[in-house]
């Protein structure tokens, strides 16, 4: 379930939504990192800045989901999506997967808007990725037969480590991580709870 054995061509064919999201991650990273583009302008226009959202720049609730603060940040989030996204894209289908991904990312950013100071600035797809983990946890709790015990243990272990690391590492949007996971869990619970 979480072991990737596909070649690149098959991966792109089987998981087009994840492939497209990662393409956007890489493209936006390159546009903000390479000196030939107005990188600071683009980053400043797309990053989540609570003050600007309050002043009407509502796109900043969505665009930070696809922006990253640096190469390592982009690589880690994209790699997490490559590993843990495919099973959900197959399970949910393309449309429902992108809805879960976007809704959990938006929920994480709305929580950041409501709970963090107006001066708070944030980027990253972590809230949406934590949303996927929350969705997996709801499957584990409400539809155990859908996942093997081994895969359930893998998800729970990684989710616990991810939550711990959220509080240990610096420069982490704790609010986005927690509310992304919570929103993913609630969406999954609504879908799978009997």
Phi-psi group of 58: left, alpha or beta (phi > 0 → left; psi -120 to 50 → alpha; rest → beta)? alpha
3-state secondary structure of 89: helix
Known catalytic residue at 125: no
Pair 87, 103: CB distance under 8 Å: no
d(Cα 15, Cα 192) in Å, to the nearest integer?
23
Catalytic residue, from 80, 122, 177, 183: name it.
177
Catalytic residue, from 78, 126, 138, 152: name it.
126
Known catalytic residue at 126: yes
Q: Which segments within 104-188 are labelled E, that is strand?
A: 121-122
Tokens (6 digits) for 183 = 């929103």
CB burial class (10 A; 0-12, 13-18, 19+) of residue 48? Answer: buried
Q: Which segments within the chain are labelled E, that is strand?
A: 48-49, 121-122
The set of catalytic residues is 126, 177
């Amino acid at each position: 379930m979480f072991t990737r054995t596909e070649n690149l061509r098959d991966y792109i064919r089987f998981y087009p939504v994840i492939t497209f999201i990662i393409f956007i991650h890489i493209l936006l990273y390159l546009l903000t990192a390479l000196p030939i583009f107005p990188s600071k302008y683009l980053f400043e226009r797309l990053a989540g800045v609570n003050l600007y959202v309050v002043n009407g720049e509502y796109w900043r609730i969505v665009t930070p989901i696809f922006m990253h603060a640096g190469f390592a940040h982009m690589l880690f989030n994209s790699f997490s999506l490559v590993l843990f996204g495919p099973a959900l894209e197959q399970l949910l289908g393309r449309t429902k997967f992108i809805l879960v991904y976007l809704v959990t990312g938006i929920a994480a950013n709305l929580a950041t808007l409501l709970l963090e100071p107006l001066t708070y600035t944030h980027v990253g797809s972590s809230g949406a990725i934590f949303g996927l983990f929350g969705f997996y946890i709801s499957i584990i709790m409400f539809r155990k037969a859908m996942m093997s015990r081994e895969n359930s243990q893998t998800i729970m272990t990684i989710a616990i480590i991810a939550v711990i690391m959220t509080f240990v590492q610096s420069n982490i949007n704790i609010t986005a991580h927690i509310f992304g996971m919570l929103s993913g869990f609630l969406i999954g619970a609504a879908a799978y709870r009997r």
